Structure formats: structure tokens, C-alpha cells
Amino acid sequence: MTEVFTLGEALGVVSADRIRHDMTARLDVEGPELTVSVGLARLGHQVAWLGRVSIDELGARTLSVLRGEGVDVSHARVDETAPTGIVIRQRRIGRLSHEVYYQSGSAGSRLSTGDVPAEAVQAARVLHITGITLALSGYAWSAVHHAVKLARDAGVLVSVDVNHRPHLWESADEARQALTELASSADILFASQDELPLVEPALAGVPELIVTRGAKGASATVDGLRYDTQAAPVTAVDATGVGGAFVAGYLSALLDDLHPADRLKRGISLAAYAVAGHGSWQGLPTRGELPP
């Protein structure tokens, strides 16, 4: 039985210190839903990922990575006419980076309502979605809301990560309206401290609100009670996958019926693993590697 069903776009990633001058670069695939899927699968959960991937090599690599990690990609669609979206990432000072995204017209942005398998969504325990997928295109927007309706009609928990990416929205007002609407449908809502004002009208009605605060840790408000945990002491190498890693840890503990404080601790633990090495998902732990 699928425990978590998620949908989103996977991107190819080209990263280097200076694209203009370096003779070598790192090639990878990433996406917050991909990171969540890998994180959960490594902890022994049954996860299904839906997305449109290109017939190109990056699309093939995405499916290969997910299959290799034990994620169900049987519902993924292969697009023969659109390319895989790409992000060019340059390291600047310390851990800071500069990113340029090429997502317009990508295979991932073509995800549509017709791609969403009703029975698979409604058979899951949790549907996990992010505000990134919502922003990719009108088609993707409809697919997200269709999946949410399917889930809610079947009593499936809806998990939403706000994941505000300003470059994907026409304006701040458009983002605020769309993300607030999506957050209002959540049973479990993940947001960074900076994202809270964007979705403020929806916060009062969310049963389970998780707020991440970077080096200050995270909090969870469940049934009106607030729980806090500190960030783990770790030397950060690459923070690109920290959000998805945290979500994977939290949802894993939720699926294991752990206390909200322990959900936060597992989320923080996976986030620490993620930032300790390069790549957004490669360093995520197996269940046997989790601290007691």
C-alpha cells in the first residue's frame, strides 16, 4: 500500500563555482518532491512519485534515480516533445549560491489533470504537494487542485509545503492568493518563518502547522499545542535539499504515529544529513542510520 503519493517537477542541475571559467561541473537531478520521495523510501516507507519527465537523458536519469531508491514511478509520464527543466547553480561566497532556472515549457510544467491517477491518490495515507508545482503552469495548477480534491474526498491527509519561489510567479499578490488557497486545503502545512505572512489567512484553520526557522530550529503546532526543537549542530556543506529532507523526516515520524516532538526531531535529523554533503538527496539516511 502506498503511504505517500507526491507529484512535482524534477530538474536537471548543473553546478560549479564559476560556470564561465570552470572546465568541470557537477550534474544532478533534484526537486523537493523527489527529495521527499527518496527520504521516505530510505526509511522504509512506500512512496509513489508522479511527474512528467522528458524523453531526454535527464528524464531517464530522474526515473533511474527514483527506481533505484525504491520509489514507485509507475504513474510518471514521459513527454516526447518537451525538454527537462534545468537550473544552473554557481557557488559564490561560502555556502551562498546564484541560480538561474530554465523551466518555461519544460516537460514537468506540462503535468495536467489527466495525468493524476485517482485510485492511486485515494489509496494513499498522505498526499504531499508543494507550491512550486502550483506555480509551474495553468496545467500544473489544475493537476495540483485535482489531486487535493481527490484526496480530501477520500479522507487522505493533505500535506502542503508552501515552498514559495518568487521567480515562478507573475507578482507577489498572485503568489499570495494562490498559496493561501492551497494552504487552506492542508491538514499538514510546512512553511518557513519568512513564508508565514504569505499564507497568514489560512493559518488559523490548519490542524498541523510546522514552521522551520533555519539555525533556530523548528516548531509544530498540533491541535493548538506548540512544540519546539533546536537545529542539529552540523557543518553545512550544501543546503539545497534541506526543506525536502525535513519534510521527509517529519512525515516519516507521522506515519510511524510518533509524538509531534519526535516528528520534529526526525525532521531535524534528516535535514542535518542533507546539508552535511553535496546534493539534495544523496546523503539522506536509512532507518538504521537514524539516531535512537
Q: What is the mean pLDDT of the chain?
A: 94
Is residue 277 scored above 90 in pLDDT?
no
pLDDT band at 94; cut points 50, 70, 90: low
Would you say residue 151 has pLDDT above 90?
yes
Q: Which residues pair with 189 in a beta bridge?
A: 160, 209
The pLDDT, as a whole number, for residue 95 is 55
What stretch of H or E contains 58? helix 57-68
Q: What angle do CA 255, 259, 265 make, to 5 degrees?
A: 85
Check whether 292 has a pLDDT greater than 80.
no
Q: What is the pLDDT of residue 92?
A: 63
The answer on pLDDT for 7 being more than 60 is yes
- pLDDT level of residue 276 (50, 70, 90 thresholds): confident
CA 129, CA 158: separation in Å to the nearest integer? 8
161-188: pLDDT as tens digits? 999 999 999 999 999 999 999 999 999 9
What is the rounded CA–CA span in Å between residue 113 and residue 188?
Answer: 23
Residue 149: pLDDT above 70? yes
From the list 43, 100, 246, 40, the residue with the least C-alpha distance to 163 is: 246
The pLDDT value given to residue 93: 57
Residues 53-78 have pLDDT tens digits of 999 999 999 999 999 999 999 999 99
What domains lie within the chain, and their CATH numbers? 4-289 (3.40.1190.20)
